Structure 1
Amino acid sequence: MQMKSAPHLLNEDRAEFERVLEDALRNAQDRPDLAAIGQRLNAAQLRTMALTSTALIAAEAAAEYEHYVKIREETRSAAAPTVAQDSVMGTGESAERGAGLAAVIAVLAPVLAGTAAVIFLLIGYSLRMLDPVPAIAKSLVSVGWFFGALAAVAMTVAGIGLLLTALRNEATQVQAVEVVAELPDEVARAKDAWLHALLERGILPFLQASLNDPSADPTSASPPRPVGRIPKVGYSGPNYSSPNEGATKGQRPTFTSPDFSSPDFGGPEHQPD
């Protein structure tokens, strides 16, 4: 596959690439083909070379990655309207059920009780300034303090209601995120196929080629350069060279012109009898 046709890894999938790379380096002692790690190149240098050649390695599993991304996007697109509809329905039903009570407790009750308290207290204390003090002044002050206490209680209940609503919405949101985080079976299978191909056809051959590359200098101050390609095992292209390609360059075949002389012609000194 040509490098220009290899898809670039999405940011959300780079962590998976690094995880598979770390697992391969961590379990290198279990693979004889990676037994040379630590002799010329250590795990840190191989990790640096692999990360700088992410596109090259990912291209070896491009088909599986394209299939995985396609299935994942289709699943997300199909699940998005359902999740949004459920969220809107749940929010709408909760809002409709609690709209009347929440509005009265959170807005109307404190406002009305506070307004009544202010009015009755102002009138009551104003009447108490008169001489003689009207008998109704004491009753108005008592009613004003009653509405003041009622306003305080209403504000407390409204605050508790808002706190409970916030906690309930947070729990619902966390539960929705956990449900979305669970991959469907088809997406999980596509992901496993991509990770397997990435390991077997991309990362492991790249590590082997890096260990066998004599140009990689482990003593250099700069990171080792990335390997130019990943070797293909078990396949060699057909030989299209001509049979005479190995001949000395510039050498031309010699040709002898045919003899067109007559068998009876031998020159003037040889006349026929």
Structure 2
Amino acid sequence: MHMTSAPHLLTEDRPEFDRLLDETLRTASERPELASMGERLNAEQLRTMAMSAIALLTAAAAAEYDHYVKVRAELRDERLSAPGMTGDSDGEGQSGGVGVSAVVAVLAPVLAGTAMLIFLLVGYSLKMIDPEPAFARTMLTAGWLFGGLTVAALLFAVIGLLVTAVRNSSTEVAAEESVAVPDELSRAREAWRNALLERGIMPFLRDALADPSAGPGYPVPRTPHAGRIPTLGYTRPDFTSPGATSKGPRPDYTPPDFTSPDFGGSESDRE
């Protein structure tokens, strides 16, 4: 049964361990100490063995990992305690203003265009009446006025969309710059990765490949004293062939002593 999580390794850092192990196995051909991989053990078997010993491997870089976790926690606390509430409220106000402008920019052309169609339709319908009503020209004038408003609203909407796109692009760049990984955290993470690789993963893989009992049919070595390689407590049963003879002494067997009943003789003798 393989171990799925290390007591010392946080859940959020488990993928980093997996990536480092996979990268090491993928580039094994570039490492002379892993040149024998594939003769007895392949990459998948080595990975299974390493995952079963993840607590042992991460303990080899415990000091660097503790420092990395400490630096990361301090930076998170600084970000949470940083004064940013004013900026957030200002951003929400701006977002609200931009939202209202977007709604107006969308609705204004629609409403103006609808009014234009109504006035023009009614105006031209009245012109067909004989005699022509006096307010037919008024309806047409209002329709063409709303037509001009429709064109102006469309131009306003296009300009507003362009301005919003430019503003959002500049905001995204600023956000990416603000979440840049600090140098101290990057150095602590790299130090942990190097320690984990050099003092944990690589020695483990070297010992696994050097262990003569790690055959291809058994991904995890069964020897009880295999150095860094863990033992899972499984041993093969010792079977003997059917024709094998035992060299020990055979059990001593004696049949029970039966006697026949006493037949014959006189009655007086029997008494």
Same fold by TM (over 0.5)? Answer: yes
Give the distance between the partners of 1:22 and 1:229, measured in 2 at CA. 28
How many positions carry a matched residue from both structures?
223
- 1:144 to partner: Cα distance: 0.5
- 1:213 to partner: Cα distance: 2.8
User: Which letter maps to 1:189?
Assistant: R
3-state SS of the aligned residue for 2:195? Answer: helix
3-state SS of the aligned residue for 2:132? Answer: coil
Give the distance between the partners of 1:226 and 1:145, measured in 2 at CA. 89
Q: How does 1:144-223 map to 2 (within 5 A)?
A: 144-155=143-154, 157-158=156-157, 161-162=160-161, 164-166=163-165, 168-169=167-168, 172-173=171-172, 175-177=174-176, 179-180=178-179, 182-218=180-216, 220=217
Alignment deviations for residues 85-121 of structure 1 (CA, whole Å, 9 cap, x no partner): 58626634644775786565444x4366346435633
Aligned to 2:11: 10
Residue identity over aligned pairs, in percent, reads: 44
In structure 2, the gaps of 5 or more residues are: 229-271
User: Which letter maps to 1:127?
Assistant: L
Are the aligned partners of 2:207 and 2:227 in contact in 1 as well (CA < 8 Å)?
yes
Aligned to 2:247: none
Call closer, same or farther: CA 1:116–1:42 in 2, change over 3 Å: closer
User: Which letter maps to 1:132?
Assistant: P
TM normalised by structure 2 equals 0.62
Are the aligned partners of 1:202 and 1:230 in contact in 2 as well (CA < 8 Å)?
no
Q: How does 1:1-273 map to 2 (within 5 A)?
A: 6-19=7-20, 21-23=22-24, 26=27, 30-32=31-33, 34-80=34-80, 82=82, 85=85, 88=88, 91-92=91-92, 94-95=94-95, 104-107=104-107, 109-110=108-109, 113-114=112-113, 116-117=115-116, 120-121=119-120, 123-125=122-124, 127-155=126-154, 157-158=156-157, 161-162=160-161, 164-166=163-165, 168-169=167-168, 172-173=171-172, 175-177=174-176, 179-180=178-179, 182-218=180-216, 220=217, 224-225=219-220, 231=227
Give the distance between the partners of 1:6 and 1:100, measured in 2 at CA. 52
Give the distance between the partners of 2:112 and 2:221, measured in 1 at CA. 76
Call closer, same or farther: CA 1:87–1:217 in 2, change over 3 Å: farther
3-state SS of the aligned residue for 1:124? Answer: helix
Are the aligned partners of 2:25 and 2:43 in contact in 1 as well (CA < 8 Å)?
no
- 1:191 to partner: Cα distance: 0.8
User: Which letter maps to 1:65?
Assistant: Y
User: Which letter maps to 1:187?
Assistant: L
In structure 1, the gaps of 5 or more residues are: 233-273
Aligned to 2:258: none
Call closer, same or farther: CA 1:28–1:57 in 2, change over 3 Å: farther
User: Which letter maps to 1:146?
Assistant: L
Give the distance between the partners of 1:25 and 1:40, measured in 2 at CA. 17
Give the distance between the partners of 2:123 and 2:190, measured in 1 at CA. 79
- 1:123 to partner: Cα distance: 4.8
TM normalised by structure 1 equals 0.61
- 1:206 to partner: Cα distance: 1.0
Are the aligned partners of 1:206 and 1:230 in contact in 2 as well (CA < 8 Å)?
no
Alignment deviations for residues 28-82 of structure 1 (CA, whole Å, 9 cap, x no partner): 65455x4543432234432332234333322322332233123213213322565
Are the aligned partners of 2:115 and 2:146 in contact in 1 as well (CA < 8 Å)?
yes
Give the distance between the partners of 2:219 and 2:8, measured in 1 at CA. 25
Give the distance between the partners of 1:18 and 1:229, measured in 2 at CA. 29
